[in-house]
Structure 1
Amino acid sequence: MESIIILIFIIGYLSITLEHPLKLDKTVPALIMAALIWAVLAVGFHAGWFDVIDTHERAFNFLSGGEAAEEGFENTLLHHLGKTAEILIFLIGAMTIVEIIDLHRGFEILKGAVRTKSKKKLLWIIGILAFILSAIIDNLTATIVLVTLLRKLITVREERLWYAAMVVIAANAGGAWSPIGDVTTTMLWIADNVTAAGLIEYVVIPSIVCFVIPFIIATYLPAFRGEIEVDTTEDVVAERLLSSKTMLFLGLGMIVSVPIFKTVTHLPPYIGMMLALGVVWLVSEYIHPEEDFSKERRHLYSAHKALSRIEISSILFFLGILMAVGGLESLVFGVAENGDPVGTLRYLAEVLQEAIPNQDVVVILLGVLSAIIDNVPLVAASMGMYDSPTDSVLWHFIAYSAGTGGSMLIIGSAAGVAAMGMERIDFIWYLKKITWLAFIGFIAGAGVFLLIERVIFQHT
């Protein structure tokens, strides 16, 4: 019966990847897949066909556990919903702040700073911005900000897709060496598997390699030759407002404050994002964007309008994907070496470890898998598998691989999914045009990491 749940996931996943040939919005199969996986899981659990495991490695069998098992199942479902909601609230907050900045034409300030018509120069400017910003405000938010900026700079969508795709590579590489740059590095940091200093010291150079090499190759591609077509009419219409600079720096400043808030309070990042959104929203209610500002024009710059511009289908897509992965993670699929029951993803990690004794190869495969399956449960599974000390080579390599490996597919990372939702990037187009660049960067960075850790410093 376990195979039914895995089959639902495979069919749902294929439907997402074939979104354009099927002429079906990817959100539809994601939501149906998540609902069906949990429905089959619930029916099978109550019928005694299979057990459910929670995040504390406790397995529940309904026939032998009764009410306690029922409560365990409900708590497992609520846990996965809670973890998914954290990401969704964070995403909604970040996207709303970006849209408020955009309504006040704050990105015109950044647009004015990017004074080049050369496609190659723009590629490097955007790439460096993505790499640095993602380490400060996380790869997801950096991607949202820069894709919004690209919309201001490049009017031709076909050209913009290339830049948006390269932003994903740079943002994921930038997020991998920062404890707040990616969800997985934050997980490892909170669990004391890595320290901020250790992560930066050993992962920053491989991350730079992972970012730079694909960009060097990209400068020789036809898509980045010549000059950008500039829409001269847009400069007249989209002039700066009195509030442009204030809202840009306030918005970005409040996003940057989220990790500081988390460090001080030890609360999850979404709480800090709620505060950030509240402050930006408050200021937007009272600021005057124009000289002769009237109440009748207030709605043009309001947070309500910003909320209406959010890509809700992307939010629902996240909901479907993360809940489906949570269902897979909760299904007891086998037993570990010590005889304890494990979930599907944990079982997969155990099989990999048994089949491939070399730990470094397993971690590289983890990076490749993170492009296909969400990297959060994969990293969570690896945290449960190993008991290496803080700042060991293993944890640093997992942070690098899980953070950058997702760039190989457009749906392999939060940054990729955000770019996909905002620009409607086709899965197959990305697979053909960008995957090979991301793979070269990932492998080159992994090689540099192993050279530094295993050969130069000879760490074990």
Structure 2
Amino acid sequence: METTLAITVFIISYVFIMTDKINRALVALSGGLLMLLTGVYRWEDAFIDFIDWGTITLLFSMMVLISITKKTGLFEYIAIMMAQRVKGAPIPLLIVTSIFTAVGSALLDNVTTVLLFVPILLTLTNLLHLPVFPYLLTVILSANIGGTATLIGDPPNIMIGQAVEHLTFMSFIVNLGPIVLLIFICTLACLILLFRKSLRSRGDYVEELMNLNANDYIRKTPMLYQSVSVLSLTIIGFLMHAFVHIDLTTVAVCGALLLLLLTDREADAEQVFQEVEWVTLFFFIGLFMLVGGLEQVGVIDELARGMMWLTEGDLPRTAILMLWVSGLFSGVVDNIPFVAAMIPVIEELESYGMTNLDPLWWSLALGACLGGNGTLIGASANVVVAGLASSARQPIGFIKFIAYGFPVVLFSLIVSTIYIYVRYLLPFIESSL
């Protein structure tokens, strides 16, 4: 009975989220509350086990940092400088946007990168009177693809890296970097072909842009230098995460609190908190509760066990199935609980005589990270960008995003299948003959 209730509530909530008729945060929270009222789980389970408060706190802290920094005019300054460098040309701007987001997501994490870059992008498209959707779509796709390349780029990779000691920061780059680069280049080329006709700049807007003085938009007060310094220290802390083993959330909280204390006179804390994307944060809470219901009734665990039953522990079949199931499943629900359920399953295979588990880890990482491009709620970065876009009155349609995102996922999984087979499975098959 509880299983049926959980699945029903999840499906109904998902349908309402897709239609965009009601605020997504309200739908997700209502779905989570229904699971509580029907006894699928208790409040204690929701608050302790299912809601990832680390992710919520990380997002909140970065929103505080961005909110204060935005008051200095720094984002407008960077936006104007970037646009002037490419002379206001829409396609070069799309390319720069994609590269910047992908590299940033690999070196930091995709959520932090989109929080930093989307405000700049919204300013740019407004200045040049360009359609914002192609650029926001590019940011989401590039963030998830770029974040796949490193241990700290996407939460699933962090979880896998923590579970498997021999998979280091360099292991992720060496094993996932080549395929990520190929998928990124192909995706960017497709985006340019798709939007080349709609991305046209008008000469008067470009001329107006080139006549702007970027320095006029930046406010050279103590808050500017404080914001840049603390933001830089926070980013350095993220980069040093793999070496000093300080949790990303801890680094972000320290940065946000330090900047609040330093800028207390220029930036009122109450106003800063009002500018936080609360709708996005509550949507995450509701989403965690919805997926938690499926986890509580064993749907995710059954999926994991079903995969092992289908492949009978055969490494090549298990690796390919792992890639596709994690890729398609991660497009529907958050990939974090799925990866959490799969890690012990993969570890258990070692007791059945499967000694080379690395192909399974890389399949899980590729599927979970790249699959996030499937829908607007498939990855944390997607939800954050959607929230920022809605606040700027540039909402991204759920179905419209799927029309672009899902084909990218299918292409990514096909290319990843060939890569996994040629690099890992074919040598294994040949050695076992």
Shared fold per TM-score greater than 0.5 = yes
With 220-229 and 99-108 compared, the bigger mean Cα shift is at 220-229
Change (3 A) 1:94 1:390: farther
> Partner letter of residue 91 of structure 1?
L
Displacement of 1:139 in angstroms is: 0.4
Displacement of 1:230 in angstroms is: 5.0
Change (3 A) 1:75 1:308: closer
Structure 1: segments with no counterpart, 5+ residues? 46-72, 287-297, 332-342
Mapping of residues 401-416 of structure 1, within 5 Å: 401-416=367-382
Structure 1 SS opposite 2:264: helix
Structure 1 SS opposite 2:219: coil
| TM-align CA RMSD | 2.8
Is it true that 1:379 corresponds to 2:339 in the alignment? Answer: yes
Tell me which residue corresponds to 2:147. Answer: 175
Is it true that 1:103 corresponds to 2:81 in the alignment? Answer: no
The number of aligned residues is 402
Distance 2:117 2:152 in 1: 18
> Partner letter of residue 38 of structure 2?
V
Q: Contact between 1:165 and 1:419, CA under 8 Å: does it hold in 2?
A: no
Q: Contact between 1:257 and 1:276, CA under 8 Å: does it hold in 2?
A: no
Is it true that 1:255 corresponds to 2:229 in the alignment? Answer: no
Q: Cα deviations across residues 185-204 of structure 1 (Å, max 9, x unaligned)? A: 11111122632221111001
Q: Contact between 1:195 and 1:391, CA under 8 Å: does it hold in 2?
A: no
Change (3 A) 1:222 1:139: closer
> Which one of 330, 338, 347 corresponds to residue 370 of structure 1?
330
> Partner letter of residue 261 of structure 2?
L
> Partner letter of residue 285 of structure 1?
D
Q: Contact between 1:100 and 1:303, CA under 8 Å: does it hold in 2?
A: no
Displacement of 1:246 in angstroms is: 5.5
> Which one of 204, 209, 214 corresponds to residue 177 of structure 2?
204
Mapping of residues 445-460 of structure 1, within 5 Å: 445-455=416-426
Mapping of residues 330-341 of structure 1, within 5 Å: 330-331=296-297
Q: Contact between 2:103 and 2:146, CA under 8 Å: does it hold in 1?
A: yes
- Compare the two structures and name the one with the higher helix fraction: 2
Is it true that 1:429 corresponds to 2:400 in the alignment? Answer: yes
Is it true that 1:33 corresponds to 2:28 in the alignment? Answer: no
Is it true that 1:7 corresponds to 2:8 in the alignment? Answer: yes
Q: Cα deviations across residues 225-268 of structure 1 (Å, max 9, x unaligned)? A: 4337559489579611214465235314313414536753x454
Give TM-score, length-normalised by structure 1: 0.80
Mapping of residues 93-242 of structure 1, within 5 Å: 93-111=61-79, 112-114=81-83, 115-116=85-86, 117-155=88-126, 159-192=131-164, 194-223=167-196, 225-227=199-201, 229-230=205-206, 232=208, 235=212, 239-242=217-220
Q: Cα deviations across residues 119-177 of structure 1 (Å, max 9, x unaligned)? A: 22111111111111112220011112121110121117871111111111111111112
Q: Cα deviations across residues 400-459 of structure 1 (Å, max 9, x unaligned)? A: 211111112121000111111111211011122343234324432443343333347979
Give TM-score, length-normalised by structure 2: 0.84
